[in-house]
Amino acid sequence: VLDRAPAMLARARAKGLACVRADATALPVATGAADVVMSISMLHLVPDWRAMLRELKRLLRPGGRGVVMLYTRENLGAHWVFDYFPSTRAWVEDWHGPLAEVLAELPGARVLPLLFSDGSDGSLAAMCRTPERLLDPAARAQTSYFEKLENEAPAVLAAGLAALRRDLDGGRRPDVEVAAVRAKVGDGTVIMWTG
């Protein structure tokens, strides 16, 4: 596991995984040394994500496989949370670019929509499958989205959660309302390529 964040590395070490602290744009791995490279739900956290993709491609041996799981701007249409926390839309969109921009860096890549079947994953997209989970502080604590919202706009968080509670109690299902969009673009996106 390669990661820049000590807390993430500590979690991986606790699972018995070998870890190296490194920046995704300058990985301490020889060119062509990897059979598989994988990035899960982090591309939006890397300011120079194009450099990160170049690094992933550099690491792959000829015929090796690359996989990036990410959330694109298109996927955000399936994330109904902006109805409840509208002030977050701008910064979330800034963090998540259009799919076409990523594909321009990975010519010939294959694209698959990712559909979560439940909300047990700690990502915001998975939690959008089960709106009740957003009312659980422990579940919210698993996402950088709610961490940022709680730190920067606690009143917005409280108001949005109260509105969500009222809607759920009244029978509204925002997860069902975005089902058609989700079916088209996915909760997230998986991009695969061969080195």
User: Tens digits of per-residue pLDDT, 106-153?
Assistant: 999 999 999 988 766 668 888 888 899 999 999 998 888 899 999 999
How far apart CA 6 and CA 74 sit, in angstroms, is: 31
Tell me the average pLDDT of the chain. Answer: 92
Q: What letter does residue 60 receive in the DSSP assignment?
A: E
Other beta carbons within 10 Å of 144: 14
Contact present, 2 and 27 (Cβ < 8 Å): yes
pLDDT value, residue 121: 66
C-alpha dist (Å) from residue 4 to 24, 33, 89: 7, 20, 26
Q: 184 phi and psi, to 5 degrees?
A: -80, -45
pLDDT value, residue 186: 92
Q: Is residue 179 over pLDDT 70? A: yes
Share of the chain above pLDDT 70, in %: 97
Share of the chain above pLDDT 90, in %: 73
